[in-house]
C-alpha cells in the first residue's frame, strides 16, 4: 500500500496494519511468545531496537508509548500549550534514549496489560484522526507547531508505519526461533 495522502487513506492504512498486527499476535505459538527475542547473531540487525526489545510486550509498549506522545502533542498544542513532539530533554538525535526510557519504565507491565494499552491508545489515535479534516491532516502549515511537515505524516509514523515495523520484528523473531 502506498504512503497515505488523504484522511481516508490514513484511516485505511492504520486500521489495516493494526488488524494485521493483531492477527499476527493471535497466531503466535506459546513457544514464540515465551522465547526471548534475540537478534544478536544477525549482523544486519544493528539498530538499537533489535537489542532493546526482548519480547512481544516490549514491542506493544513501544507502540503504545508513541501513541501517547502523539496524543499529548496534539492535545497540548491544540489547547494552546506549546509542546514539542518528543519528551522534554530529547530530540531526533537522542530519541533512542527516550525509547530505552519507555522500555525501562514498562518492565513490570504484563503482555496482557500491554495489549490492552495498545488497543486503547490505538482507539484514541483513530478518534483524533476522525476529528480532523483532510486539509488539517495533509496540508502543510496548517499548524505552526508541526513545522514543515504535515500532521498526517506524524499519524502515519505512529500508526501504519509503526505497526509495519512491529510486524517485521515479530516475523523475524518467528523465523529465527523456528529455524532451530
Q: Which tens digit of pLDDT belongs to each residue from 104-117?
A: 999 999 999 999 99
- Residues 6+ away with beta carbon under 8 Å from 11: 126, 129, 130
Which phi-psi region, left, alpha or beta, contains residue 134 (left: φ > 0; alpha: ψ -120 to 50)?
alpha
d(CA 165, CA 4): 16
The pLDDT assigned to 59 comes to 98
Q: Which tens digit of pLDDT belongs to each residue from 1-45?
A: 689 999 999 999 999 999 999 999 999 999 999 999 999 888 898
pTM above 0.85, yes or no: yes
List domains and CATH numbers for the chain.
7-19+50-179 (1.20.120.450)
Amino acid at each position: 500500500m502506498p504512503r497515505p495522502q488523504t484522511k481516508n487513506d490514513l484511516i485505511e492504512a492504520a486500521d489495516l496494519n493494526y488488524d494485521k498486527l493483531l492477527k499476527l499476535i493471535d497466531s503466535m505459538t506459546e513457544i514464540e511468545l515465551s522465547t526471548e527475542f534475540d537478534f544478536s547473531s544477525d549482523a544486519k540487525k544493528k539498530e538499537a531496537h533489535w537489542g532493546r526489545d526482548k519480547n512481544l510486550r516490549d514491542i506493544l509498549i513501544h507502540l503504545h508509548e508513541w501513541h501517547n506522545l502523539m496524543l499529548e502533542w496534539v492535545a497540548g498544542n491544540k489547547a494552546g500549550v506549546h509542546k514539542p513532539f518528543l519528551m522534554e530533554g530529547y530530540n531526533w538525535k537522542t530519541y533512542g534514549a527516550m525509547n530505552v526510557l519507555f522500555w525501562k519504565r514498562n518492565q513490570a507491565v504484563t503482555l496482557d496489560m500491554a495489549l490492552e494499552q495498545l488497543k486503547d491508545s490505538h482507539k484514541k489515535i483513530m478518534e483524533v484522526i476522525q476529528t480532523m479534516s483532510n486539509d488539517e491532516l495533509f496540508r502543510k502549515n496548517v499548524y505552526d507547531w508541526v513545522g514543515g511537515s504535515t500532521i498526517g505524516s506524524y499519524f502515519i509514523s505512529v500508526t501504519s508505519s509503526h505497526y509495519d515495523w512491529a510486524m517485521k520484528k515479530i516475523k523475524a523473531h518467528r523465523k529465527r526461533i523456528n529455524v532451530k
